[in-house]
Structure 1
């Protein structure tokens, strides 16, 4: 085994690093297939100890003045910024995100979102308001269980842990066992920022063991989960017995509607970039490109030419645009979808399931473009979570909207048009949590979350903060 990427590969419960039992989970670099570290496989006993610590710490933390909590959030943001390079390299090693992307996005967005939250708290946000003869208070919900995924590992952790802290909650965190090492860095940052012992506790382990224990624990007041829709259903079912609040950020199958007056070159370039971002392992990826039928072939040609520019290879190389999938299991899943697309009659316009031109070692998949995709095909309905774009023709604007809304998901989407008002009109008709018009940029203060089976609740900014509060009305 090579040296660990970070030295803190332990549980952290009540401020203490705990090695756990003898059972370990190996952390594998998906590019080299080397084991780079191991973490303890947690059990119900560790979860119970973490919940006990969080419950004990809650009264004191909940009563901490807002100004002190805001200052602590500011220090967390600054601490993450100071360890930017280490965080980026760690995420590249544990889940294969290209280093240029890890530096620009994986390590940077957590800094921006936590800074935005500190700005909000210091800018006059109030946890109370007067409504008639009522004083309406937002109070911390209590102990929060946070279960997070591997694709944007630190970003998703920070989206939950930091606003929970800001609201006055205490936390039990289970990061993904595939990409857990960044969580150890965060725990160091939290300690250095002054988070008291027991306020944030880290328990490593698998979803079926640690995740389910968190979801069902009677002393956890809320579970915030990000992951697949299948796993989200399970979290909801397990949590139902204790009637705790459940916030879910789940899968997506987002549509990019290219209208007939759009700049095709721009729409295809940005659309493909969004599809292949982080190797396609992004819940908001615009994996369905909807185009006018009479422009289908032109769009396919543009997409194929653009896809050819996406270099696949070593994620530590600055020039790499698509690294490996996060694991061998994920690679096989994506290849299976590509083969299913061919079997159902879609046309491979670029890439495909042939891996002979890819690195011999590592969980690599070729960036792929499918043409002539029909809405009912599996590749147009199910989340693939890989670098696979489906191009679907439509007859008119109404059919485009109908196709966009035809999946069980509703997380993100896009519209391209030369007419902003027309684009906005179409965006309003899309049943999805966020829509980018003509390449609108990410806003770390805007609410993030989905419709339908993409989940419920919202993250980021004021909206994400308020997810971790209860409302109380006092009449006088």
Structure 2
């Protein structure tokens, strides 16, 4: 059932401020008249236009954040707890606006936008609030005091696939420890960040503590990365962009925390209930149209059960409803952009050409959907780990099933990746699954379908990045440690 079409309009705050930035506590006009259309991926037509920031806009935002840091860094823990509590309350009042903005900007089905995308950001503010209440900013070592102090002005660069999740993962801990912020969201999905800025404004975040500058990576992202008054860059995005950010940040010796791609392996051991495990985990993989960096896109099964695994996966995928995001029945919406659509099509073609078995799906749009960046949910079987569909992050509704002969080979295949963000392992013997999990070279492993703990660190090994987000570990990314020797007090 579709939602009321009258409610498909953008939130009023977005229409009012789409061509403005939030700097020093107020909505301001940009320094340039350049704009960029935000394309609704379901219709391929503009839903709004944002202003494109320049280095001058970044300078203004950073100057405001630097001024505000002198005061905000000295606030008490109690004051920052009260601030985060107001943010949580203001966020809860605006959930529908957030969900609508996310649906229109990046094509998330309305059910996903309401039940997953919007709540994800709220959850991180709540988790950080709990971590702040428990965190000790000072520790005693004899006559030495260790003080954890805010690092300074934080430049935050966030992606389009989980816009509220990724922004909250950075904003919440930065505010919690006393840092000030300049946020550059993805220009592909920038509208929900306007709602978020309004939420922070309503919550009474002091002027200059949070600043929003829209724009592209080569201009605004580069200016943030190179800026001498930015003390930390927290980046989530592609490896290409992450490497560029790190290079640009090097000359000013600022801290760089990165969370990048993934090609997570899901090991189904030979004693697992194949039907139960695959129906559970295949469903998780297709959430958000497969556009999640930690999705279990490589499923590893015993080679002699490949045909059975492929049939189970196809049975689930073939009942998915691909369609307009505004329809409550839709499971899989469009991909975020034409660029992403073309990339996924090319990778599906590569899998076919490499000799993987196309179980279901394939190239082209689903039947009846001639407009919109829709991709046919696809399953490949009999793949080898050297194929592009097994090595590259597809970021779409494409699953690759790989066979193995024994447990040792399964672990070897799982670890044979440039990435190391997440992993999954299932077994009828929980201790066996635990032992396999300990051998997987990833920052996170889900054992027997366990959900992620939002208070636990989120991040990975190798090309998946070098930072950790969430809970106490997320706060530590924005802290420096000072030793006070001979502090007899």
TM-score normalized with structure 2 length: 0.95
Moved more, 278-287 or 352-361: 352-361
Partners of 2:395 and 2:313 lie apart in 1 by 19
Partners of 1:79 and 1:413 lie apart in 2 by 35
Partners of 2:478 and 2:276 lie apart in 1 by 39
Q: Which residue number in structure 2 is paired with residue 460 of structure 1?
A: 470
Q: Which residue number in structure 2 is paired with residue 88 of structure 1?
A: 99
The reply on whether 1:447 has 2:457 as its aligned counterpart is yes
Q: Which residue number in structure 2 is paired with residue 23 of structure 1?
A: 34
Contact kept in structure 2, 1:28 and 1:34, CA below 8 Å: yes
CA shift for structure 1 position 17: 1.3
CA shift for structure 1 position 19: 2.9
Identify the match of residue 17 of structure 2 among 8, 25, 38: 8
Moved more, 356-365 or 289-298: 356-365
CA shift for structure 1 position 3: 6.4
Q: Which residue number in structure 2 is paired with residue 32 of structure 1?
A: 43
Cα displacement string for residues 168-209 of structure 1 (whole angstroms, at most 9, x for unaligned residues): 000010001111111111111111111011111110000011
Contact kept in structure 1, 2:361 and 2:378, CA below 8 Å: yes
CA shift for structure 1 position 341: 0.7
Partners of 2:142 and 2:367 lie apart in 1 by 69
Cα displacement string for residues 317-373 of structure 1 (whole angstroms, at most 9, x for unaligned residues): 111000000011111110010001111111110101032515111000011000110
Alignment of 1:80-119 (within 5 A): 80-119=91-130
Partners of 2:138 and 2:467 lie apart in 1 by 21
Alignment of 1:4-403 (within 5 A): 4-5=10-11, 6=14, 7-9=16-18, 10-20=20-30, 21-122=32-133, 124-355=134-365, 357-403=367-413
SS in 1 for 2:402: strand
Q: Which residue number in structure 2 is paired with residue 472 of structure 1?
A: 482
Partners of 1:11 and 1:329 lie apart in 2 by 26
Partners of 1:191 and 1:118 lie apart in 2 by 18
Cα displacement string for residues 413-459 of structure 1 (whole angstroms, at most 9, x for unaligned residues): 10011110000000010000111111101211011001011001100
Partners of 2:123 and 2:205 lie apart in 1 by 20
Partners of 1:117 and 1:356 lie apart in 2 by 41
TM-score normalized with structure 1 length: 0.98
Cα displacement string for residues 11-45 of structure 1 (whole angstroms, at most 9, x for unaligned residues): 11111212322110111110012211111110000
Structure 1 unmatched ranges of 5 or more: none
SS in 2 for 1:435: strand
Partners of 1:396 and 1:244 lie apart in 2 by 45
Partners of 1:8 and 1:414 lie apart in 2 by 42
Structure 2 unmatched ranges of 5 or more: 1-7
SS in 2 for 1:309: coil
Contact kept in structure 2, 1:71 and 1:118, CA below 8 Å: no
Contact kept in structure 2, 1:257 and 1:289, CA below 8 Å: yes
Contact kept in structure 2, 1:3 and 1:37, CA below 8 Å: no
Partners of 2:323 and 2:238 lie apart in 1 by 26
SS in 1 for 2:41: coil
- Alignment length, in residue pairs? 474
CA shift for structure 1 position 4: 4.7
